[in-house]
Amino acid sequence: MSNLDVEWALEWMRRASAALTEHRAELNDLDRAIGDGDHGENMARGFTAVVERIGATPPDDVTGVFKVVAQALMSKVGGAAGPLYGTAFMRAAKATEGDLDAAGVVAVCAAALEGVVARGKATTGEKTMVDAWSPATEAAQAAADAGRSPAEVLRAAADSAEAGAAATVPLEATKGRASYLGERSIGHQDPGATSTAYLLATAADAAES
Ligand code: ADP
Ligand code: MG
Ligand code: MG
């Protein structure tokens, strides 16, 4: 049941950077189908900057890591995803005090979701990253209510984010660049929901390591 500390947060960011770099071409391809083809590039660049910054000046708590992530993503990612993920991590930082227990993990997911919604004004079913963050937060809450460990709560969130991303395929985009395609956005998986699933999977991986 061990709580998640700053070492976990640092390991999460290293794994996130590696995963988003590994999946850069796939995320670009998803974005090429319904957007402008840069989502993998944006995420890989952003998280490379995150890892550089935490390497140069290692924060001493989870909140500090999330703040650096927010600032790096805001300044390096651009487009839609930079401000959305930047706001998510800024809210997550504000929702965090010390190490994370199971309830703390739920609070981080809920804060990230609130940040994305505050910034992008999307609701579920609009084929955006909200369709990954929202089921992830619900699953995290259910796992915490069932007495699961922080790592198990994160794994539940990650699995639901992945299912949520897959479930964006039949949706028509009504927010962001993909909405310009209207019905032609149907049949493609949303890149931002997909990157959210990778991000949460690496959070769970880091917690299990
Ligand atoms: P851009 O569209 O500016 O090129 P990215 O390609 O990096 O930015 O990110 C696109 C992703 O951002 C989409 O796949 C979607 O998940 C997410 N997105 C776009 N607009 C919104 C919004 N209003 N609310 C939530 N997520 C959004
Ligand atoms: Mg794009
Ligand atoms: Mg773009």
Contact between 1 and 150 (Cβ < 8 Å): yes
Is the pTM above the cut of 0.80? yes
Q: Which ligand is nearest to the CA of 79?
A: 1
Q: Whose CA is nearest to atom 21 of ligand 1?
A: 176
Q: Whose CA is nearest to atom 24 of ligand 1?
A: 120
Contact between 140 and 200 (Cβ < 8 Å): no
Q: Tell me how far the alpha carbon of residue 35 lies from the centroid of ligand 3, in angstroms.
A: 8
DSSP class of 63: H
Bridge partner list, 4? 100
Residue 53 scores a pLDDT above 90: yes
Question: Rounded to whole angstroms, how far apart are CA atoms 48 and 78?
Answer: 14
Q: How far is CA 51 from CA 9, 66, 108, in A?
A: 11, 12, 20
| Amino acid of residue 91 | R
Residues having C-beta closer than 5 Å to ion ligand 3: 36, 38, 79
Q: Whose CA is nearest to atom 9 of ligand 1?
A: 81
Bridge partner list, 100? 4
> pLDDT value at position 72?
97
Cβ atoms within 10 A of the Cβ of 190, count? 32
> pLDDT value at position 124?
98
In percent, how much of the chain has pLDDT > 90? 98
Residue 1 scores a pLDDT above 80: no
- The CATH class that applies to domain 6-208 reads mainly alpha
> pLDDT value at position 116?
98
Show the DSSP H helices in 61-101 as ranges: 62-76, 81-94
> Three-class SS of residue 4?
strand
Residue 78 scores a pLDDT above 90: no
Q: Is the dihedral of CA 34, 40, 41, 47 positive or negative?
A: positive
Q: Tell me how far the alpha carbon of residue 186 lies from the centroid of ligand 2, in angstroms.
A: 17
Q: Where are the domains of the chain?
A: 6-208
Chain center to CA of 184? 26
Mean pLDDT (whole number) for 184-193: 98
SS (H, E, C) 174-197: CCCHHHHHHHHHCCCCCHHHHHHH
